[in-house]
Amino acid sequence: MRPAPSNGTRARRETRALVKAGSPRHHLMQMALGAFLVAKDAAANLREALARPSGLAFLAIKECEKELDQLERAIDEEIPRALAQVSENDAREILASLKLIIDLERIGDLVLWVAMRLQRSHPRLPKPDTRLLAEMAEVLESLLGRLHEGFVQRDLESARTVVQADNQLDEMRHSAFRRHLEGRDEQDTSRRIDVLLMAQALERAGDHGKNLAEELFYLVEGRSLRHVTARQRQTEFELARNVR
């Protein structure tokens, strides 16, 4: 099975061609948007690797992680120069691009970590476990796609659905913990730990997705959701949705 097509790599090439003459703000945000597609590719290839063991998928995940590292360095290097020549509103978007790439790079790290753990798992994990982890990777892939769409269109509905997807990942992780810690399966301890750690890593990737959704809210509404309760966050999303 071939790895998922690298939409992120293609997007990055197109970004370099299209935004060289644009403003620093536009350039940085376009690189961050390309990073969403790279991270989405990583999640898609992890889903493939879980469904059908594939060395090509693993190599594609490593390449995505490397590309996210490169994008993070590129954005970090351009931020000071960009901030020196823009208005306050533009500065908000420039700083947003830095926050986005930090969370996206962490997602890439977590996906690669799961892939490496999976590759070292011998014998192969039981089907119920690989199925659950593949479903988690699929939710993460969809979450990243919605975030990319949300930032392109400044669409808060995308952010709201991402928070719901993060809750779904939390429940899937809880399901794995309940089955392995409370059940009486016949797997040895090391394999149970592998599954639980991989589920935990994918749930953490979802947490980074939630951070990105909150950053989208801040970019659109100019208000931060970083220090509010989950119920308050949901209320803010609903209010913003109704106003629009």
Looking at per-residue confidence, does 100 or 14 come out higher?
100
Structure tokens at 199: 């589920």
**What is the torsional sign of CA 48, 52, 53, 59?**
negative
Count Cβ neighbours within 10 Å for each residue of 34-69 and write b for 16 or more, e otherwise.
Answer: bbbbbbbbbbbbbbbbbbeebeebbebbbbbbebbe
Provide CB contacts within 8 A for 13, sequence distance 6+: none
Calpha distance 189→181 (Å, rounded): 10
Provide CB contacts within 8 A for 117, sequence distance 6+: 194, 197, 198, 201
Instruction: Name the band, by pLDDT with cuts 50, 70 and 90, for residue 184.
Output: low
How do residues 69-90 score in pLDDT, each as one tens digit? 999 999 999 898 888 877 777 8
How do residues 162-183 score in pLDDT, each as one tens digit? 988 999 999 999 999 888 876 5
How do residues 121-159 score in pLDDT, each as one tens digit? 766 788 889 999 999 999 999 999 999 999 999 988 888
Calpha distance 165→171 (Å, rounded): 10
Contact call for residues 15 and 30 (beta carbons, < 8 A):
yes
Structure tokens at 220: 């659109």
Instruction: Name the band, by pLDDT with cuts 50, 70 and 90, for residue 218.
Output: confident
Q: Domains in the chain, start-ordered, CATH in brackets?
A: 7-243 (1.20.58.220)
Q: How far is CA 195 from the centre of its chain?
A: 20
Calpha distance 84→78 (Å, rounded): 10
How do residues 9-57 score in pLDDT, each as one tens digit? 555 454 444 344 457 788 899 999 999 999 999 999 999 999 887 789 9
Span 201-208, average pLDDT: 96
